[in-house]
Structure 1
Amino acid sequence: MYLIIFLFFQQNEFEWLLHKEVHAVLNQLNSILVECVRRFPMPFSSNEGPYKQEKFVLSGAPDQLKCVVSLSGDCISHADISFKVQRQQVVNYRTTVQNDNPWRLHQVQDAANHLHQALFHIDNIDEDYNFQSSEEVLHILGNILGCLQRGRTSLIVPRKRTIDDLMKSRNMKCLVPNIAEDLALSFYIQSHKLVFAIYQVSSVQGSMKFDALQAEASIPWLNEVLVLFTVALQLCQQLKDKVRNTIFPNISLI
């Protein structure tokens, strides 16, 4: 008898979760992700106006590397770079990125694309839609979680590239003037920071040697985006766990 009553209440709880709480959490997720979209300083439609431009001074070894960039959405629209490298003697280099040929930050665009894909999965669900099964809810939540995880990871973990890949990168053609062939430059996002790195390849007694210089700047809107990604991930995972736990209650009979 007690088991029947327990299962009755468990069924009612599950139906309320399926028809009420899931929609409430999805609405909350939608608000968080819309707010996350607003943090990106780039338009997502033709009605939103031009890219917002921000200027940053990247800090590193002050006597070896100086870099000032203008960040416009998902690209570096302008950069003034000067650095020193050691050859037989110290050599000074100066190069720039010009407005007419910007340096693309694909990580930002990738994160924005995954974010919009997560919103697409939510927007596809009508407010009056009745979920028919727990599997249906878990499938949708899995899709949203996947998009959010990929979006967050694209900003936190830069894609690994070889020196050869960097040297042959299309972005290297943005530099005016070009730099020496044994040098590779890279801009990338790592968590809330914009990082600029210079790699020098040299041969020492027949073996390849790599030297690197690095400078970075904290980007406030990136930090806000990552916080919102994390909050959305936690909320989505909590709902997924609750649906699973409600489906498979731990029943102990004595």
Structure 2
Amino acid sequence: MVENERAELVVLQHEFDWLLTEEVPRTFNQVMQILKDCCTHFPVPLCGHDAAAKQEKYIMSTPSHTTQDQVKCVVTVNGDTISQADMSLKIAKHANQIHRTSVTPEAPWRIQQIQDAANFIQLAIKFLDGHGANNTFKTSGEVLSVLTHLTSLLQKGRSSLLIPRKKTIDELMNSRNMLVLAVYHLSNAAGTVKFDSIQAECAVPWLNPVLVSFTTALHIAHQLRDKVSVFSQYKDFTPDSCSVSTVSC
């Protein structure tokens, strides 16, 4: 019985050593390549890619099923900067009145979400470059520590694009570095001031491959975390301290 348990521990140790020396570096290299490929889809130069910032034009409008009020906007985007935009607002209650405003090349607006996502992906690549495949791992704790920090950066980068931080009206009014196409219509009814928000939207083609890259990298990192963690489920096997020499006969 004891011999069988020792033999099982030896097998587990060999599998764990293979995981640390082969699977962990391979996985970190795979994630690194995914992130570098992701950088090529961003509209701004990242990670050594010297391509000029892409100029794109978008036509934004209010979905017809959401409100009778209408917001329309034609936006020219250079990389992570809105260089020009023409916006118009038409309120259903005041059909004959159209409100207009614009962004001019002399006063461009930065899109904070793109900046944040780009910063997080560059931080993830830099972190992997110093702590990933080129590192020598001896314990599961070391691997899990790297994975915890890596997945945190990837989740923040992905969330920057999927769930932009909401701002109060005061923050929007005081903002100088970002454009939020949210129109607030104030009205006074029986002495009570209320406001309605109206939003315009459009599809951004490059977002899809970027989000797929973030999601794929996260999935692979989580798979590696599960593989490393599974060894701790064995009662007599402690991957942070066990070695072949201590379990072999």
Describe how 1:57-206 pairs up with structure 2 within 5 A: 57-60=59-62, 64-85=70-91, 90-125=96-131, 127=133, 129-170=135-176, 187=180, 196-206=181-191
CA distance in 2, matches of 1:116, 1:60: 34
CA shift, 1:3, in A, is: 1.3
Higher relative contact order (CA 8 A, sep 6+): 2
SS at match of 2:206: helix
CA distance in 1, matches of 2:158, 2:128: 18
Pick one of 245, 248, 253 that aligns with 2:230: 245
CA distance in 2, matches of 1:167, 1:86: 24
CA shift, 1:155, in A, is: 1.0
Residue ranges of structure 2 left out of the alignment (5+ in a row): 237-249
Change (3 A) 1:250 1:53: farther
Residue ranges of structure 1 left out of the alignment (5+ in a row): 173-185, 188-195
Show structure 1 runs of 4+ deviating over 4 A.
Answer: 86-90
Change (3 A) 1:61 1:161: same
CA shift, 1:4, in A, is: 1.2
Q: What's the counterpart of residue 25 of structure 2?
A: 23
CA distance in 2, matches of 1:61, 1:239: 41
CA shift, 1:21, in A, is: 0.5
TM-score, with structure 1 as normaliser: 0.82
1:43-102 Cα distance to aligned partner (Å, 9 max, x none): 137871431111111122678322111122212111111222467775312221112221
Contact 2:114-2:161 at 8 Å conserved across structures: yes
Change (3 A) 1:128 1:57: closer
CA distance in 1, matches of 2:210, 2:136: 32
Contact 1:202-1:210 at 8 Å conserved across structures: yes
SS at match of 1:124: helix
CA distance in 2, matches of 1:198, 1:249: 58
Percent of aligned pairs with the same amino acid: 43
CA distance in 2, matches of 1:126, 1:154: 24
Change (3 A) 1:208 1:249: farther
Pick one of 175, 197, 205 that aligns with 1:212: 197
CA shift, 1:223, in A, is: 1.4
SS at match of 2:35: helix
Aligned residue pairs, count:
230
Q: Which moved more, 1:112-121 or 1:53-62?
A: 53-62
CA distance in 2, matches of 1:18, 1:47: 32
SS at match of 2:97: strand
- Structure having the higher strand fraction is 1
SS at match of 1:140: helix
CA shift, 1:235, in A, is: 0.3
Contact 2:61-2:70 at 8 Å conserved across structures: no
Change (3 A) 1:66 1:142: same
Contact 1:199-1:211 at 8 Å conserved across structures: yes
